Amino acid sequence: MTRALPPITRLLAGLLAVALVAACGVVRAPSMDRRGADSFEDDVVTARTLTEQFWSRQFQQLGRTYRPISDFIPYSGSAGPSCGDEPAVPNNAFYCPLGHFIAFDQGWMEGLWSDMGDGSVYVIIPHELGHAVQAQLRTGFTLNVQMELQADCYAGGTLSALVDSGALTTEPGDENELIRSLAAAGDPTDDWLNPAAHGTAEQRQASFARGYQDGVGAC
């Protein structure tokens, strides 16, 4: 049995459901599927490839050149690459501006993929690539939470564009899958001054939904 969503989450899920159906026109299974992408490894490669292709086109429209990330590194537990003086930690994915790479705890992300659905990969990877975009655009933020919420918005806008283009397709229930993935990553309190803050579940969901409905230009 699926646990009932809280009222604000049900509202966001409803909005996202409308956007998903409107974007793709035709809803078909399997969820977040690209032909041939039927495993965790396939989804990871697909999410990275399609997201970088999307941003390459966006940068071209701005008269700029997108610089692909230099590496995409799976690791286990704490045995990951450091970013300057910051070591890799378990149950995490991160973008490192010093080496312009993304690293992720593979066991953790595969667990999310298995437990919460493939939509989790299409939230996490576009979010981290959103940070790579911020670095290239030299976007400045007063608070860390502002940077994180914009990356959520970028992830929503990216996914919307990929569904709209036909690169990804959706099925009923995907909206709840995406919303739950964001909820699982939300902060327990609304502490904007915390240097590690990412935003509450509701804030992250709302930012993702805004990007999905209105595109990355709204971020």
Could you tell me which residues come within 8 angstroms of residue 30 by beta carbon, excluding any fewer than 6 positions away?
38, 118, 171
CB–CB of 32/43 below 8 Å? yes
Euclidean distance between CA atoms 132 and 138, whole angstroms: 10
In this predicted structure, what is the pLDDT of residue 82? 95
Could you tell me which residues come within 8 angstroms of residue 38 by beta carbon, excluding any fewer than 6 positions away?
30
Decide if 13 is inside a domain. no
For residue 65, which phi and psi values (nearest 5 degrees)?
A: -115, 120
Decide if 7 is inside a domain. no
Decide if 48 is inside a domain. yes
Q: Which residue has the tokens 């990969």?
A: 121
pTM score of the predicted model: 0.82
Decide if 3 is inside a domain. no
Decide if 124 is inside a domain. yes
Euclidean distance between CA atoms 184 and 86, whole angstroms: 24
Decide if 175 is inside a domain. yes
For residue 97, which phi and psi values (nearest 5 degrees)?
A: -70, -25
Could you tell me which residues come within 8 angstroms of residue 72 by beta carbon, excluding any fewer than 6 positions away?
48, 101, 102, 103
Per DSSP, the three-state class of 16 is helix
- Domain of 172, in residue numbers: 30-218
Could you tell me which residues come within 8 angstroms of residue 23 by beta carbon, excluding any fewer than 6 positions away?
160, 163, 164
Decide if 1 is inside a domain. no
Considering its fold, how many domains does the chain have in total?
A: 1
State both tokens at 114.
């298995």
In this predicted structure, what is the pLDDT of residue 4? 33
In this predicted structure, what is the pLDDT of residue 38? 73
Decide if 151 is inside a domain. yes
Question: Position 135: which residue type?
Answer: A
Q: In what order do the strands lie in the sheet with 101-105?
A: 71-75, 101-105, 93-96
Question: Would you tell me how many other CB atoms lie within 10 Å of the CB of residue 15?
Answer: 18
In this predicted structure, what is the pLDDT of residue 5? 30
**Residue ranges of the chain with pLDDT lower than 50?**
1-31, 33-37, 188
In this predicted structure, what is the pLDDT of residue 159? 92
